[in-house]
């Protein structure tokens, strides 16, 4: 039995909740709706699975290739837009407003995933998939030259916080907010060697002491989620890999499709929702989201 087996009350059983997407990403549990919202990026739409009925459908279409998202304390959704190369807010009526789209006069590449820091700022990754992959955005130029992790707040504006990852992708904070984890998916398109997760110390608006945390050998670690006890649940080509705070692997859960991203949710926060290629899956766990 693996050291993490106690994390799965029903065993390593993934339940397919919905299918029919092209490339699923950016899952988010919305408690007030008891629903999961996620992106079908090449389909240029946002999908929604309703926990009460078990039925999935289309939330919105023509969404400018949105990707990762989070729930703001005010109940709106903050999400990454490949197509508009920005971080944006989606309001309950479905309209969106820009939060930030440029850095020092240069357009962002294509924001991919976002996490909220304890100080209320948003940290997001900005790889270039939305400008180099025509089915995930609009072909465009790298205006500032590389790919970074940024921090944005209404008060402080936009600052670059991490610049030593070739293709930063997934991002999540530890429960105490003192560590931020960022994945590097550069090896996917041959843009670098990265297929691993890095960790950084967080001191207010700064990240420092970047270090290797864990490697995913089967495919890539795209999106990640951290549980209430600080474990890191990572996507991979073959399923879900779970690491303790030291980066030691505790658990592997196979998933039938390539996994792009995960989030905790459900009524008590213990369900792991898995965005995996064409489908949304659920894994019952005995841990829960930090929130």
Nearer to Mg ion, 109 or 112 (CB): 112
Collect all residues with Cβ–Cβ distance below 8 Å to 50 and sequence separation of at least 6: 33, 34, 35, 56, 57
Q: From the CB of 261, what's the least distance to Mg ion, in Å?
A: 6
* Structure tokens that stand for 257 in this block: 């499709």
Q: Does 24 bind Mg ion (CB under 5 A)?
A: no
Q: Does 222 bind Mg ion (CB under 5 A)?
A: yes
* Structure tokens that stand for 204 in this block: 């207010």
Maximum Cα interatomic distance, the chain, rounded to a whole number of Å: 54
Nearer to Mg ion, 222 or 238 (CB): 222
Nearer to Mg ion, 223 or 239 (CB): 223
Nearer to Mg ion, 88 or 113 (CB): 113
Q: Does 285 bind Mg ion (CB under 5 A)?
A: no
What are the distances in angstroms from CA 84 to CA 15, 17, 105?
Answer: 34, 30, 15
Q: How many Cα atoms are found within 13 Å in the side-chain-facing hemisphere of 60?
A: 15
Collect all residues with Cβ–Cβ distance below 8 Å to 64 and sequence separation of at least 6: 44, 81, 82, 83, 84, 137
Site string for Mg ion, 84-123 (x = CB under 5 A): ----------------------------xx----------
Q: What's the gap between Cα 22 and its chain centre?
A: 17
Q: Does 289 bind Mg ion (CB under 5 A)?
A: no
Q: From the CB of 38, what's the least distance to Mg ion, in Å?
A: 12
Q: Does 169 bind Mg ion (CB under 5 A)?
A: yes
Under rule CB under 5 A, how many of the chain's residues touch Mg ion?
5
Helix (H) or strand (E) holding 130: helix 129-132
Q: From the CB of 40, what's the least distance to Mg ion, in Å?
A: 13
**What is the C-alpha separation between 181 and 12, in angstroms, rounded?**
24
Q: From the CB of 154, what's the least distance to Mg ion, in Å?
A: 25
Q: Which residues bind Mg ion (CB under 5 A)?
A: 112-113, 169, 222-223
């Amino acid at each position: 039995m693996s050291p993490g087996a106690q994390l799965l009350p029903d065993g390593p059983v993934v339940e397919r909740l919905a299918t029919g997407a092209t490339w699923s990403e950016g899952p988010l549990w919305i408690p007030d709706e008891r629903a999961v919202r996620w992106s079908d990026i090449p389909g240029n739409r946002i999908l929604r699975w309703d926990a009460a009925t078990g039925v999935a459908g289309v939330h919105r279409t023509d969404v400018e290739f949105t990707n990762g998202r989070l729930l703001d304390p005010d109940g709106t959704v903050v999400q990454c837009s490949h197509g508009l190369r920005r971080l944006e807010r989606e309001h309950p009526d479905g309209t969106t407003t820009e939060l930030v789209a440029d850095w020092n006069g240069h357009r962002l590449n294509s924001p991919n995933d976002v996490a909220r820091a304890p100080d209320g700022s948003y940290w997001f990754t900005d790889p270039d998939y939305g400008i180099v992959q025509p089915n995930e955005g609009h072909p465009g130029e790298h205006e500032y030259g590389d790919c970074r992790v940024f921090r944005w707040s209404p008060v402080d504006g936009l600052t670059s916080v991490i610049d030593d990852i070739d293709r930063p992708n997934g991002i999540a904070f530890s429960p105490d907010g003192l560590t931020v984890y960022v994945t590097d998916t550069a090896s996917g398109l041959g843009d670098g060697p990265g297929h691993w997760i890095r960790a950084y110390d967080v001191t207010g608006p700064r990240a420092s002491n970047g270090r290797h945390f864990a490697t995913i050998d089967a495919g890539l670690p795209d999106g990640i989620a951290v549980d209430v006890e600080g474990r890191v649940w990572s996507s991979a080509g073959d399923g879900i890999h779970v690491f303790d705070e030291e980066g030691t692997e505790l658990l592997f859960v196979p998933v039938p499709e390539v996994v792009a991203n995960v989030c905790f949710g459900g009524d008590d926060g213990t369900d792991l929702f898995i965005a995996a290629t064409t489908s949304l899956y659920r894994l019952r766990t005995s841990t829960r989201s930090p929130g």
